[in-house]
Amino acid sequence: MRGLWTTARVRSAEERVLAATPPGALMRRAALGVAAVALELLGGGRRVGLLVGSGNNGGDALWAGYYLRKRGVAVFAVLLSPDKAHAEGLAAFRRAGGRVVDRLPPVDLAVDGIVGLSARGPLRPDAAAHVADLDAPVLAVDLPSGIDPDTGAAPGPHVRARATVTFGCLKPVHALADCGEVRLVDLGLGPELGGPDLLELEPEDVGAAWPVPGPESDKYTQGVTGVAAGSATYPGAAVLATGAAVLATSGMVRYAGAAAEAVRARWPEAICTGSITDAGRVQAWVAGPGLGTGLGSEAVLRTVLEAGVPVCADADAITMLANNPDLWDARDPDTPLVLTPHDREYERLAGPVGEDRVAAARRAAEKFRAVVLLKGHVTVVAGPDGRTLVNRARSSWAATAGSGDVLAGVLGSLLAAGLDPVLAAGCAAKVHALAAELAAAGAPIPASALLRALPDAIRAVRSR
Ligand SMILES: NC(=O)C1=CN([C@@H]2O[C@H](COP(=O)(O)OP(=O)(O)OC[C@H]3O[C@@H](n4cnc5c(N)ncnc54)[C@H](OP(=O)(O)O)[C@@H]3O)[C@@H](O)[C@H]2O)[C@@H](O)CC1
Ligand SMILES: Nc1ncnc2c1ncn2[C@@H]1O[C@H](COP(=O)(O)OP(=O)(O)O)[C@@H](O)[C@H]1O
Ligand SMILES: [K+]
């Protein structure tokens, strides 16, 4: 698991460490790390350009330029605010033979020291113009300038980094936005940081948590997943969600609804009935994909919420909860509920998502006392207790019709197996994104191909 700390937390830890270290020592340690990665990225190249902002991020870049000069690299620096450039860094840079220029000449690598943790908003026009001029790969200092350190939002011009060297600990931007390859330089902040604000599951965490049958297991003991999805109009959603539950865990899957024929034809191992009332016992329900929002569908959702087992409410179930708040009363607030909205469904439930997806997921989790999985390229899982997991997909091939139905089925089966609902949601999101990547291998895929890749994705995380 990778921990991520917000800028406010980093700053207070830094203050305490700064007070206990000689002046400038942390910055030089940070800059040495930047210079080392710059040398790696340079390969045979010998020319580096620095874009230097007004704060300590620019100071890091200038000191990195100093160390690169010591290794015989030609280094040029553009000072975006010459009067405010870091004085000691600039003096050292000049002493070592670094050249201050108005515009960067052709270079093999650019170092982005425009702005770091104090950044707010997109790049200003002068900085944006220098960035637009670059045609070399960029190494970002701490974070790619123009991207918000805490939310990962990039509402305007920003740096696109080949790699980022950050210091002390990872910040939310490193999981929420594209920072290229991220390297961490230790500044000894560890003991001062406290617990992280956000977590990112690694493949091995997902592999370790994934339920597997043991010698004592049978089809019932591993948790039975119920799927209440699909309709005459949308039988495919039921087929995809049920199939995902069938493939994600061992044990049994029950399907109840109008698409029973279609589901039975595709998944003979699922126990199918036409009505929720004779579905039989389950340990968790997935409700909503393709279900419709009419009165009959509301009755199905009410039955599921009253069942006293964990529920994954997706798609039409979310719309019904948004349209008819009485449905919330059907739920026992102590029984886990996982809501899996995309941004438009979120808006129906809780208003616009805005630029801070983490804050949005947390708001809804608190409001509804539920686990909220806000899906998209960056998926955020927030629990009502404040625990928050983030997962940024490495590709966008999952953005295809029906892919959310697969996610819901996977998640429901993990709930049925008894996983903690925050962990279940995080694991489902991660395996779903990986399945999309494996299935696509560089070409578009339908959701049914993503579904077929689930076993490979599970094998991949379990082998870590
Ligand atoms: N503390 C430590 O222990 C260590 C810290 N370290 C380093 O310090 C960095 C933080 O440095 P910092 O706090 O000086 O601020 P920083 O991010 O450089 O910004 C400064 C100024 O930029 C401006 N500006 C703002 N937004 C802008 C925009 N959109 N576009 C353009 N300009 C913008 C604004 O100034 P203004 O121009 O408004 O006067 C703002 O005040 C941190 O990321 C790490 O690299 C390392 O050395 C390790 C040890
Ligand atoms: N740009 C993207 N990159 C990666 N994953 C995405 C992207 N857009 C959507 N997804 C993922 O694809 C799935 C889409 O779900 P959803 O919007 O409910 O689709 P549907 O309703 O068609 O099944 C979610 O798991 C979401 O996280
Ligand atoms: K930067």
> How confident is the model over 226-237, as a mean pLDDT?
97
Separation between Cα atoms, residue 248 and residue 407, nearest integer Å? 10
With the most atoms of ligand 1 within 8 angstroms of its CB, the residue from 6, 21, 32, 57 to mutate is: 57
Ligand 1 contact via 115 beta carbon (within 6 Å): yes
Output the CA 177–ligand 1 centroid distance in Å: 19
Q: Which among 368, 457, 387 is positioned nearest to 426, based on CA atoms?
A: 387
Ligand 1 contact via 53 beta carbon (within 6 Å): yes
> How confident is the model over 243-270, as a mean pLDDT?
97
Q: Which among 288, 282, 318, 300 is positioned nearest to 418, based on CA atoms?
A: 282
Residue 400 is given by DSSP the state S
Answer yes or no: do 120 and 219 share one domain.
Answer: no
446: pLDDT strictly greater than 90: yes
Ligand 1 atom with least separation from CA of 60: 47
Ligand 2 atom with least separation from CA of 447: 23
**pLDDT at position 100:** 98
Tally of structural domains, the chain: 2
Q: Which among 233, 113, 206 is positioned nearest to 164, based on CA atoms?
A: 113
Q: With contact defined as beta carbons under 8 Å apart, do 123 and 160 qualify?
A: no
CB atoms inside a 10 Å sphere around CB 250: 16
With the most atoms of ligand 2 within 8 angstroms of its CB, the residue from 231, 353, 375, 448 to mutate is: 375
**pLDDT at position 146:** 98
**Residue 80 belongs to a domain with what CATH number?**
3.40.50.10260
Show which of 163, 197, 231 is a domain's final residue.
197
Output the CA 421–ligand 2 centroid distance in Å: 20
> How confident is the model over 65-79, as a mean pLDDT?
98
Ligand 1 contact via 23 beta carbon (within 6 Å): no
Residue 381 is given by DSSP the state E
Answer yes or no: do 169 and 289 share one domain.
Answer: no
Answer yes or no: do 156 and 270 share one domain.
Answer: no
Bridge partners (DSSP) listed for residue 141:
165
Show which of 167, 197, 227 is a domain's final residue.
197
Q: Which domain holds residue 173?
A: 2-197
| 128 has binding-site annotation | no
Residues with CB under 5 A from ligand 3 (ion): 112, 140-141, 145
Ligand 2 atom with least separation from CA of 376: 27
263: pLDDT strictly greater than 90: yes
Q: What is the mean pLDDT of the chain?
A: 97
Answer yes or no: do 157 and 218 share one domain.
Answer: no
> How confident is the model over 124-153, as a mean pLDDT?
97
Answer yes or no: do 239 and 181 share one domain.
Answer: no
Q: Which two tokens stand for residue 376?
A: 């998209």
**pLDDT at position 174:** 98
Show which of 153, 172, 197 is a domain's final residue.
197
| 112 has binding-site annotation | yes
User: For the chain, what percent of residues have pLDDT higher than 90?
Assistant: 95
Both ends of the chain: CA-CA distance in Å?
13
> How confident is the model over 366-386, as a mean pLDDT?
98
Answer yes or no: do 281 and 296 share one domain.
Answer: yes
**pLDDT at position 20:** 87
**Tens digits of per-residue pLDDT, 32-69?**
999 999 999 999 899 999 999 999 999 999 999 999 99
Separation between Cα atoms, residue 67 and residue 308, nearest integer Å? 63
Which residue's C-alpha comes closest to atom 16 of ligand 2?
404
**pLDDT at position 191:** 87
247: pLDDT strictly greater than 90: yes
303: pLDDT strictly greater than 90: yes
**pLDDT at position 328:** 97
18: pLDDT strictly greater than 90: no
**Residue 332 belongs to a domain with what CATH number?**
3.40.1190.20
Answer yes or no: do 174 and 242 share one domain.
Answer: no
Ligand 1 contact via 32 beta carbon (within 6 Å): no
Backbone φ and ψ of 108, nearest 5°? -90, -20
Starting from the CA of residue 244, give the closest ligand.
2
**pLDDT at position 120:** 85
> How confident is the model over 9-33, as a mean pLDDT?
92
Answer yes or no: do 171 and 213 share one domain.
Answer: no
327: pLDDT strictly greater than 90: yes
Answer yes or no: do 157 and 72 share one domain.
Answer: yes
> How confident is the model over 294-302, as a mean pLDDT?
97
Starting from the CA of residue 138, give the closest ligand.
3
Ligand 2 contact via 407 beta carbon (within 6 Å): yes
The C-alpha angle with vertex 439 and arms to 406 and 394, in degrees rounded to 5, equals 85
> How confident is the model over 275-298, as a mean pLDDT?
97
Per-residue confidence band for 190, with pLDDT thresholds at 50, 70 and 90: confident
| 59 has binding-site annotation | yes
| 42 has binding-site annotation | no
301: pLDDT strictly greater than 90: yes
The amino acid at 327: L
Provide the H-helix boundaries in 251-290: 260-266
Answer yes or no: do 255 and 165 share one domain.
Answer: no
Answer yes or no: do 39 and 91 share one domain.
Answer: yes
Q: How far is CA 401 from the centre of its chain?
A: 20
412: pLDDT strictly greater than 90: yes
Could you tell me the CA-to-CA distances from 447 to 84, 126, 237 in Å, in that order? Answer: 53, 44, 10
**pLDDT at position 248:** 98
Per-residue confidence band for 194, with pLDDT thresholds at 50, 70 and 90: very high
Starting from the CA of residue 375, give the closest ligand.
2
Answer yes or no: do 334 and 269 share one domain.
Answer: yes
Q: Which two tokens stand for residue 200?
A: 């990112």
Q: How far is CA 72 from the centre of its chain?
A: 40
User: For the chain, what percent of residues have pLDDT higher than 70?
Assistant: 100
Separation between Cα atoms, residue 389 and residue 201, nearest integer Å? 7
Starting from the CA of residue 117, give the closest ligand.
1
The amino acid at 462: R
Q: Which among 109, 167, 116, 180 is positioned nearest to 143, based on CA atoms?
A: 116
